[in-house]
A and B are shown apart, each in its own frame.
Chain A
Amino acid sequence: MNQSEILDALARLALFADLDGPQLEAVAHTMSEESFAAGQRILRQGISGSGFFVVLDGEVGVRVDGADVARLGRGEFFGETSLLLGEAPVADVVAVGQVKVLQLAGPDLRAFLLAYPPIMYRMLQAISRRLERANRRG
């Protein structure tokens, strides 16, 4: 994707919906785009020092101890739990087909969220929705 395509893609994602143009551009320059082929691991269960990821295109599978527990698609994010808690991830995240993601270095997440409170708010909403779903299932 070129810069304007990345900006268009970001603008369509709920996580970044409250940002104006210059903020979106700053986010696009802060996160790096990466590509993964089917089966490649993006997040690794038990391995420290990971990052924060937003799915830009494609689908990823969440696996705990090798068992599929969820699928995430465009606009959804992962990796934040281990970074916020300072622990290694408790799940693998694996590319289902060809996947493009935006990655933020783990140590940068705190400053990133503090710099963009609207992203933090949207993230809290999404995490709350996940929690609500989990509670219903429980």
Chain B
Amino acid sequence: MSDTDRAPDSSATVAPPPGAYSVVVVGSGPGGLQASYYLSRLGIDHAVISADPGPGGMFRHFPFFQRLLSWTKPHARLAHDSREYERFDWNSLVAFEPEHRGIMASLMDGSSEFPSRAEMEEGIRRFTERTGLPVRYGTTWQGTSRDDAGYVLHTSVGDYRARVVIFAVGIAEPLLPETPGIEYAAHYVLTRDAATYAGKRLFIIGKQNSGFELASGLLQWASPIILASPRPAQLSVNLHSLGGVRARYIQPWEDAALGGGVFILDATIERIERRSTGLAVHTRRSDTSEPFVAEVDEVIAATGFRAPLLDVEGVGVSLFGRSGLPAMTNAYESTSAPGIYFAGTIGQAVGGLRKYGIPANSGAVHGHRYNARLLVDDLAARHFGRQRPRPVVPPGDILDRLLISASTAPELWHQKSYLARALTRASDGLVRDDGIVSLAEFVDAAGPDGVAITVETDDRGDIHPAVYVRRRGRVDADARLSSDPLLDFSGAEQRAQLKSLIGGVLP
């Protein structure tokens, strides 16, 4: 999709009624709306349906303590309407039109780099209205079936039919473990106002971000706070990824280290029982199997969520894992039900190369907003015969195109080792820009000779460009370019390294 391909903004959008569309998108959180935006700009007729009364998805209610974990830096020294600024703005949805970019920065006063929940909800609302996305709210998807033309979504207001469906329903259904007595615990989503935990003995099951988020927010209220789960907690700064507990939430960790009334246990939760003096949580240490019983007033299960995908297995979608995620291609299409795609956080089920164990950021807005473009371009090509334009790159521009991408392309910075910029040599001998692609797809597909560049973090935390060269249909190895103290990869050293690597493949 190039800028010249874009259809104009629709000046007034009408809530799409039940009926037949080329594509139906389910969900009006960031995932569904970003997919709808790209469909709109390709001129693909579609409807977005949502059970909610307005846009925002999970940000209509969460995070619980009303302050996001994801940053937008209003004072980063880049124009808010530039693509480069997206590297410092994790929260805005992305657009071709400069006037629709960086919306979150315009809502924040710069006193915090983390927007409030209300600011995030407002940012999503403004994007939806300004870009004219066709959303029908108050429309609950209730079931799915097939007909000759594709899929039928049965909703609270009637049937929507489409050749292609995009589910962007989040990973939002509370997931409780099967622990005996779990009925005495409240799931994370049922956490009450912080003040109601004043003086309470609190046990939190789970040591990932949601567990530490609660411990952090309830630190001055509940006492003691015990966090427990089988696996030791890990910190994002050690893992070099968002897979660990974020720095914002590690105050309870310091409290535990200093003996201040927070306790962090690596233990299996065997059962919970009610006693006259409170709730007894029976645990067993993960390393020695030694039993330990904690008596508390309240138990909160910060044990995660499932994707609320209703009956999609009935139309052939294969699900896996405890979160009930769909098995997908690198373009987010079900591997078992063609024509069903998944946008938004569900996309985290597409692991990519997961180099050094570092996951993509597809569970966050700043990751999946870029996945949405790959999804829509794949959908357009496979189901509507619309190929992504691949402009010719003059030989003199090749090195710059690749190195500038590695230094500034937000897709490569937010989806490290996952999205890449690819240039390939077509059968006519000309080098073409394939744009931003799935790195796993580039590495695994037997396509034409070419080069993909991405940004990677290794197991020591070093951030550097990585280059994948495909020759005769195969990528035999990866190669890294030198890093830079300020992460500017467009210097002479990287240029010489890249030139040597791509020799013989690209001119």
Interface string of A22-66 (1 = CB under 8 A from B): 110110111011111100110011111111000000000000000
CB of B266 within 8 A of CB of A107, answer: no
B327 close to chain A: CB less than 8 A: yes
CB of A47 within 8 A of CB of B475, answer: yes
CB of A107 within 8 A of CB of B356, answer: yes
Minimum C-beta distance from A108 to chain B (A): 6
A106 close to chain B: CB less than 8 A: yes
B318 close to chain A: CB less than 8 A: yes
CB of B443 within 8 A of CB of A51, answer: no
Q: Contacts of B266 on A, CB cut-off 8 Å?
A: 26
Q: Contacts of B329 on A, CB cut-off 8 Å?
A: 37
Which of B230, B267, B329, B477 has the most A CB atoms < 10 Å from its CB? B230
B321 close to chain A: CB less than 8 A: yes
The answer for the CA separation of A30 and B358 in the assembled complex, in Å, is 14
CB of A47 within 8 A of CB of B230, answer: no
The answer for the CA separation of A37 and B331 in the assembled complex, in Å, is 14
> Given the known A-B contacts A1-B322, A106-B356, are A22 and B285 also in contact in the complex, defined by CB atoms under 8 Å?
yes
| Residue of A with least CB distance to B288 | A22
| Residue of A with least CB distance to B357 | A105
CB of A33 within 8 A of CB of B322, answer: yes
> Given the known A-B contacts A47-B443, A47-B477, A51-B357, are A21 and B459 also in contact in the complex, defined by CB atoms under 8 Å?
no
Report which of A2, A22, A104, A107 forms a contact with B230, defined as CB distance below 8 A.
Answer: A22
B40 close to chain A: CB less than 8 A: no
The answer for the CA separation of A13 and B230 in the assembled complex, in Å, is 20
The answer for the CA separation of A103 and B353 in the assembled complex, in Å, is 12
B231 close to chain A: CB less than 8 A: yes
CB of B477 within 8 A of CB of A46, answer: yes
Categorize the interface residue count of chain A. Answer: 35 or more
CB of B357 within 8 A of CB of A106, answer: yes
The answer for the CA separation of A32 and B231 in the assembled complex, in Å, is 12
Q: Contacts of B140 on A, CB cut-off 8 Å?
A: none
Report which of A22, A44, A47, A105 forms a contact with B268, defined as CB distance below 8 A.
Answer: A22
| Residue of A with least CB distance to B266 | A26
B178 close to chain A: CB less than 8 A: yes
B400 close to chain A: CB less than 8 A: no
CB of A49 within 8 A of CB of B356, answer: yes
CB of B355 within 8 A of CB of A49, answer: yes
> Given the known A-B contacts A47-B443, A49-B459, are A26 and B268 also in contact in the complex, defined by CB atoms under 8 Å?
yes
CB of A34 within 8 A of CB of B357, answer: no
CB of B320 within 8 A of CB of A48, answer: no
CB of B475 within 8 A of CB of A51, answer: no
CB of A44 within 8 A of CB of B177, answer: no
A88 close to chain B: CB less than 8 A: yes
CB of A46 within 8 A of CB of B285, answer: no
Give residues 423-452 of B contacting A (CB, 8 Å).
Answer: 440, 443-444
Give residues 224-254 of B contacting A (CB, 8 Å).
Answer: 229-231
The answer for the CA separation of A88 and B459 in the assembled complex, in Å, is 14
CB of A25 within 8 A of CB of B327, answer: no
Q: Contacts of A34 on B, CB cut-off 8 Å?
A: 320-321, 351
CB of A103 within 8 A of CB of B320, answer: no
Interface string of B348-362 (1 = CB under 8 A from A): 010101111110000
Minimum C-beta distance from B469 to chain A (A): 11
CB of A29 within 8 A of CB of B230, answer: yes
> Given the known A-B contacts A35-B327, A37-B335, A107-B357, are A23 and B318 also in contact in the complex, defined by CB atoms under 8 Å?
no
Q: Contacts of A26 on B, CB cut-off 8 Å?
A: 230-231, 266, 268, 286
A135 close to chain B: CB less than 8 A: no
Report which of B320, B327, B459 forms a contact with A106, defined as CB distance below 8 A.
Answer: B459
Report which of B230, B231, B444 forms a contact with A40, defined as CB distance below 8 A.
Answer: B444
CB of A2 within 8 A of CB of B178, answer: yes
Q: Contacts of A104 on B, CB cut-off 8 Å?
A: 357
Q: Contacts of B476 on A, CB cut-off 8 Å?
A: 45-46
Q: Contacts of B320 on A, CB cut-off 8 Å?
A: 1, 33-35, 100
Interface string of B282-302 (1 = CB under 8 A from A): 001111010000000000000
The answer for the CA separation of A21 and B476 in the assembled complex, in Å, is 42
B417 close to chain A: CB less than 8 A: yes
Give residues 307-364 of B contacting A (CB, 8 Å).
Answer: 318, 320-322, 327, 329, 335-336, 349, 351, 353-358
CB of B289 within 8 A of CB of A20, answer: yes
Report which of B178, B267, B354 forms a contact with A4, defined as CB distance below 8 A.
Answer: B178
Q: Contacts of A23 on B, CB cut-off 8 Å?
A: 286-287, 289
CB of A25 within 8 A of CB of B321, answer: no
Minimum C-beta distance from B51 to chain A (A): 25
CB of B353 within 8 A of CB of A47, answer: yes
CB of B417 within 8 A of CB of A1, answer: no
Minimum C-beta distance from B63 to chain A (A): 23
Minimum C-beta distance from B178 to chain A (A): 6
B109 close to chain A: CB less than 8 A: no
Q: Contacts of A46 on B, CB cut-off 8 Å?
A: 475-478
The answer for the CA separation of A17 and B64 in the assembled complex, in Å, is 41
B458 close to chain A: CB less than 8 A: yes
> Given the known A-B contacts A22-B285, A41-B444, are A48 and B355 also in contact in the complex, defined by CB atoms under 8 Å?
yes
The answer for the CA separation of A105 and B476 in the assembled complex, in Å, is 22
Q: Which 9 A-B pairs have the closest CB atoms?
A: A105-B357, A49-B355, A37-B335, A35-B320, A29-B231, A26-B230, A107-B459, A26-B286, A22-B268
Q: List 22 A-B contacts (CB under 8 A).
A: A1-B321, A3-B178, A22-B286, A26-B268, A29-B229, A29-B230, A30-B231, A35-B320, A36-B327, A37-B335, A37-B336, A41-B443, A44-B475, A45-B476, A47-B353, A48-B355, A49-B356, A49-B456, A88-B477, A98-B327, A100-B320, A105-B357
